[in-house]
């Protein structure tokens, strides 16, 4: 009899353990958090024979109901490189409108193609003015490929968006079980699943089977604390990116200005070196009131914000100009640690508010 009692106790303990750990806390809640999926397209939906819709993406996620009550919207369904800046404006406005009219919504998941995912995520980081999490998700493999990871990434995106700990952390990028800050993350490999990395800064957190875990916070201004209001913005100003390389000509800077650029981002060598022939182009840009931001092309590191000499100051006699020294004479703003891609987005938004160099430098320091 004792043997049967021990077996019965063991079975009951096993059932209790299974009930406790097999389902996450949201599965045991009477009402799982509501999370809105806004699909824009990209590889995650690019099935052979036709793209998956937002509803189809949500329906393909196993056990989603344990974590969130999914609502879906189809914003667009194209490759990320085909999304226009006008659509960026529409998307940010729409997300802000949804947040304003639906205080009960826990968070939002946005799908994107991975090629420009980091750009969209940082743009939303600066323009969504709400503390609730916006999570950008994509996949490296399409739904018709063996090893498609899109459903897993989406499930993790929903879990992060539904988690109260994700509030006030800005826009988040979730792929491959990892959570990165939209400001810091970049695509580092053309094919590998672990392509999205924050390099020296590291992960914000991870999505593990039992729970979402955060290891650090974001200290730069973003989302709810952002000053960028798109309400009266009809179009984002043109900002071009030009690279510094051996023998880089200055006429490309002039061509960008003549083509209508209101701002230019220079992907400088090292800590801000600019090719000698580009100096005349910078002077021309300054004479036309075009703001030039200097970022490093290295992918990491910081170009310090220093007091700029006036744009009419004389050019150096020879050799490469340094953005932290001589190059600052031509109405140049330091990008701090932002990559050229991210610097372009911040400059576009800054130019919707001001053309004052000192004010724009403040923004690059704070954001």
pLDDT tens, position by position, 151-179? 999 999 999 999 999 999 999 999 999 99
What is the distance, to the nearest Å, from the Cα of residue 122 to the centroid of all Cα atoms in its chain?
3
Give the pLDDT score at 15.
45
Predicted confidence band of residue 305 (pLDDT cuts 50, 70, 90): confident
Give the pLDDT score at 270.
95
- Identify the three-state secondary structure at position 282: helix
Report the C-alpha dihedral over residues 120, 123, 170, 64, rounded to 10 degrees: -30
Give the pLDDT score at 211.
97
Q: What is the mean pLDDT of residues 263-277?
A: 96
- What is the pTM for the complete model shown? 0.88
Give the pLDDT score at 66.
96
| CA-only gyration radius of the chain, Å | 24
CB 306, CB 324: distance < 8 Å: yes
Which among 55, 96, 105, 97 has a CA at the least distance from the CA of 77?
Answer: 55
Q: Tell me the domains of the chain and their CATH numbers.
A: 20-225 (3.40.50.1170), 239-366 (3.40.50.40)
Dist CA 130 CA 331 (whole Å): 33
Give the pLDDT score at 204.
98
pLDDT surpasses 70 at 20: no
Give the pLDDT score at 330.
64
Give the pLDDT score at 10.
54
State what percent of residues in the chain have pLDDT above 90. 84
Residues with a known catalytic role: 43
Q: What is the mean pLDDT of residues 312-330?
A: 49
**Category of 27 on φ-ψ map: left (φ > 0), alpha (ψ -120 to 50) or beta:** alpha
Please report, for residues 106, 289, 339, 353, the alpha-carbon distance to residue 261 in angstroms, rounded to integers and kept in the order given.
Answer: 39, 10, 19, 16
Where does 93-162 show beta strands of DSSP type E?
A: 107-111, 134-137
Predicted confidence band of residue 246 (pLDDT cuts 50, 70, 90): very high
Taking all residues of the chain, what is their mean pLDDT, rounded to a whole number? 90
Predicted confidence band of residue 31 (pLDDT cuts 50, 70, 90): confident
Where does the chain show beta strands of DSSP type E?
A: 34-41, 69-78, 107-111, 134-137, 172-175, 178-181, 186-187, 196-197, 205-207, 212-214, 239-243, 263-268, 273-274, 291-296, 321-322, 332-334
Give the pLDDT score at 54.
98
pLDDT surpasses 60 at 346: yes
What is the distance, to the nearest Å, from the Cα of residue 234 to the centroid of all Cα atoms in its chain?
22
Please report, for residues 154, 175, 183, 185, 259, the alpha-carbon distance to residue 87 in angstroms, rounded to integers and kept in the order given.
Answer: 22, 24, 20, 22, 22
């Amino acid at each position: 009899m004792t043997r049967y009692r021990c077996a019965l106790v063991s079975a009951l303990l096993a059932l209790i353990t299974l009930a406790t750990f097999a389902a996450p806390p949201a599965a045991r809640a009477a009402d799982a958090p509501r999370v809105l999926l806004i699909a824009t397209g990209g590889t995650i939906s690019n099935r052979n024979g036709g793209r998956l819709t937002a509803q189809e993406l949500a329906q393909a996620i196993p056990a989603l109901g344990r974590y969130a009550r999914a609502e879906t919207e189809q914003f667009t369904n194209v490759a990320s490189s085909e999304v226009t800046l006008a659509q960026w404006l529409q998307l940010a406005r729409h997300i802000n409108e949804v947040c304003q009219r639906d205080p009960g919504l826990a968070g939002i998941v946005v799908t994107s193609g991975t090629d420009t995912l980091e750009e969209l995520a940082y743009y939303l980081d600066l323009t969504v003015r709400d503390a609730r999490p916006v999570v950008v998700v994509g996949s490296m493999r399409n739904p018709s490929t063996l090893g498609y990871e899109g459903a897993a990434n989406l499930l993790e995106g929903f879990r992060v968006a539904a988690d109260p700990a994700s509030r006030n952390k800005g826009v988040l990028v979730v792929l491959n079980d990892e959570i990165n800050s939209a400001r810091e993350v970049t695509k580092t490999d053309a094919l590998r699943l672990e392509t999205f990395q924050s390099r020296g800064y590291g992960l914000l957190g991870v999505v593990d089977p039992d729970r979402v875990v955060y290891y650090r916070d974001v200290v730069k201004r973003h989302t709810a604390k952002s000053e960028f209001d798109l309400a009266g913005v009809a179009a984002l100003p043109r900002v071009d990116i030009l690279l510094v390389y051996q023998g880089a000509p200055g006429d490309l800077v002039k061509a960008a200005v003549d083509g209508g650029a209101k701002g230019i981002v220079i992907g400088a060598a090292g800590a801000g070196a600019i090719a000698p022939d580009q100096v005349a182009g910078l002077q021309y840009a300054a004479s036309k009131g075009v703001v030039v931001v200097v970022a490093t092309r290295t992918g990491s590191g910081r170009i310090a914000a220093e007091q700029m000499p006036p744009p009419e100051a004389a050019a150096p006699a020879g050799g490469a100009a340094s953005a932290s020294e001589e190059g600052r004479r031509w109405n140049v703003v330091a990008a701090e640690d932002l990559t050229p891609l991210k610097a372009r987005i911040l400059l576009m938004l800054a130019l919707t508010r001001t053309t004052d160099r000192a004010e724009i430098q403040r923004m690059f320091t704070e954001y």
